[in-house]
Structure formats: C-alpha cells, structure tokens
Amino acid sequence: MRLDLVPRVGRSPLAAILAPALAFLASVLLGGVAVSLLGVSPAAAFSAYFIAPLSELWSLQEIALKAAPLALIATGLAFCYRANLWNIGAEGQFVVGGLAGGCVALAAQGSAGFTLWILPTMLVAGTLAGVAYAMIPAVLKVRLGVSEILTSLMLVYVAELLLDYMARGPLRDPAGYNFPQSVSFDAAARLPYLMEGDTLHAGVLVAFASVVLATIVLGRTLFGFEVRVVGASPRAARFAGFSEGRLTLAAFAVSGGAAGLAGIAEVAGKIGQLQPTISPGYGFTAIIVAFLGRLSPPGILVAALVIALTTIGGEGAQIDLRLPLDLTRAFQGLLLAFVLGADVLTRFKVRLVPGAAR
C-alpha cells in the first residue's frame, strides 16, 4: 500500500481562503500544548504573543519596522522562487546593500550646502550592491551550471565577514572608545521619520510600495508572465521562446536589489551607523515569509506582519512569562509547515493505492 497525491478537479475558493486560517489555528493549538508543558498558562501566552503587541503604539511601530524589511526582501525572493530559482543568499545581499550605502553616507559625512543628494545616492548604491552580489550565483548558474543554492548561501558568510572587518577596521569611529562601529550618520543620510518623536521611518513606505509594484509586475507585465510560465512549465517556456538564462539573471537582479535596498533602509533608518551586525537574520526569515505568503506580494505583506507580531510578542513573553525565544522560532516553523501542508491538501487528494511503495 502507498499514498498518492491526486490533483483535485476543482479547487474550492472557500478552501483556499480557510486553509491559512486553519493552519494558523493548528499552530496556535500546538504552541499552547508546548507552553503548557513549560508550566505556563496557554491563555497568558496567547495574550503575550498576539494581544499585548497590538495594544500599545510603540509595539505597533516595532511590528511595522520589523515587517518592512521582511516584506521587501520576501517580495524580491518571490520572483526567484516563482521561477524555480533558489536564492538562499538574501541575507548576504542585505548586508552588502547596507555596507555600500553606509560607505556613501560616511564619504559624505560633514558635507555642507546642498545635501539632498546623499540619501537617494545611498539607496541607489545599496540597491545596486545587492544586485551585483546576487549576480555572482546567477552568472555561475547560467554559465557553468553551478548550484545557486550553494553559492548564494556561502556568499552570505563572505558578506558578513566583510562587514565585520570594515566596522572593526577602516570604517571604525576613531573617537568611539574602540567600539566596532562607524560614526553616526549625519541627518541628511537618515531616512525621515513619519511622525515627530516616533521611531517609524520612511523605510516602511518603501516596503509597502515594493509590494504594490511587485503585484503589478507579476500580474500585468510580460516579465511577470515569463516568471509564472517558467515556474509552472519550463518546457512550455522554452517552446514559447523565453530565455531561461536571461530570466535567471533578471530574477536574481530583482531579488538582490530588493534585499540590498532593505539593507540600506535598515542602516539609514533604525541603526544610523555601520556595525558588525546589521541584521538579526532578516534574509533567512524572509524565506519563511515568502512561502507563508504563497509567493504572492499581498500575502507576503500579511505574512511579514504575522512574523513581526510573533517576534515582538515572543520578546515580551520572554520578559513577562520567562518563555524561551526558541519557542517563537518553533512556532514560526510550525506555521510554515502547516500552511504548506494545507496548501497541498487544497490542491491534491490523498489516495491509498494498493501495491508496493515506490
């Protein structure tokens, strides 16, 4: 006897809507079991994770600030993943983007007179650096057939070590008491705040705009059509005359540029200087966000907000309930597994077939 997956003839729209909600509910229930085993009330944990972060202005702002880079990176990754290309190195492209844009800010430090050019130049430099870094695994794949999974992942550590060296060496603040960080950026090199006295900056608007733009590109342009066709049927794409190599380079350029832009937005926004570590793992978490959002830009935005909510809630639960942060990561992993499983079950029926397992 073996289990086979048989495609469903008609996919219910209601099932497609309910599947993510049921997956979230199942994750919460399993998370409640884990919390109770640790001796904590599931109701108290649920409140700490999902209610408390929504009850205060500062925590709402933190959710938006954490969701913005996740949504921006994951939206770029969706172009690769929809085309069956596997860019695992968004973390490295994020770091390189932040470093390149930060170098522009430091080079312009103390500039007098007209300074409005500094911030746009930083954003462009960060984006182009992310594109250039993503081109390395893309070109190796197209020209030499090298696995983009391995090369993009290994380049993450190169980028992190480069940033660490620059922050501790050439770019270190000489008056910074030997701390491994650059001088703080001038006001002209910082993203403007959306409200006076708050922490919410314009990087949130950049992320939202990227989601809108990606929705239009994927749904209403020839490039988006190529991405969808290559992902659905590479053979059909070849018959249609689409160049797989050109699409590989373009998809990696989009994903790398989005990650690089997110990197410089983080540095020019919340951090305000170069440090050995500018990312808490946004590039890797964005992979989860992309698949939680089913590689759809609007879905990615919702998924980014959910992941940001659980992250902020997890930090609060660690302080108030002494729950480990690893529980938050476990919940996010459970949520991804249940969402992907529910998506499979809405598209396929499980059938028990007589005979030996294949």
Q: Which tokens hold the place of 209?
A: 């705009």
- The rounded distance, in Å, linking the Cα atoms of 272 and 138 is 31
| Residues 213, 292, 25: CA angle, nearest 5 degrees | 135
Span of 2-11, 14-23, 143-152 with lowest mean pLDDT: 2-11
| pLDDT tens digits for range 62-113 | 999 999 999 999 999 999 999 999 999 999 999 999 999 999 999 999 887 7
pLDDT for residue 341 is more than 80:
yes
User: Could you please report the per-residue DSSP string of 207-239?
Assistant: HHHHHHHHHHHHHHSHHHHHHHHHHH-HHHHHH
Contact indicator for 103, 116 with CB cutoff of 8 Å? no
Nearest to 263 by CA among 128, 62, 88: 128
Average pLDDT estimate for 239-264? 93
Average pLDDT estimate for 188-195? 90
Nearest to 49 by CA among 31, 65, 34, 33: 31
Contact indicator for 253, 135 with CB cutoff of 8 Å? yes
pLDDT at res. 356: 58
User: Could you please report the per-residue DSSP string of 296-324?
Assistant: -HHHHHHHHHHHHHHHHHHHHHHHHH---
Average pLDDT estimate for 238-266? 93
| pLDDT tens digits for range 259-269 | 999 999 999 99
pTM, two decimals, is 0.92
- The rounded distance, in Å, linking the Cα atoms of 128 and 17 is 38
pLDDT band at 237 (very low <50, low <70, confident <90, very high): confident
pLDDT for residue 357 is more than 70:
no
pLDDT at res. 145: 93
Q: Which residues pair with 3 in a beta bridge?
A: 352
pLDDT at res. 358: 56
Q: If DSSP codes are grouped into helix, strand and coil, which group holds residue 185?
A: coil
pLDDT at res. 281: 92
pLDDT band at 163 (very low <50, low <70, confident <90, very high): very high
- The rounded distance, in Å, linking the Cα atoms of 261 and 282 is 13
What is the four-CA torsion angle of 197, 203, 205, 211, rounded to 10 degrees? -150
| Residue % of the chain over a pLDDT of 70 | 97
Q: Is the dihedral of CA 278, 330, 339, 234 positive or negative?
A: positive
Span of 8-17, 147-156, 176-185, 219-228 with lowest mean pLDDT: 8-17
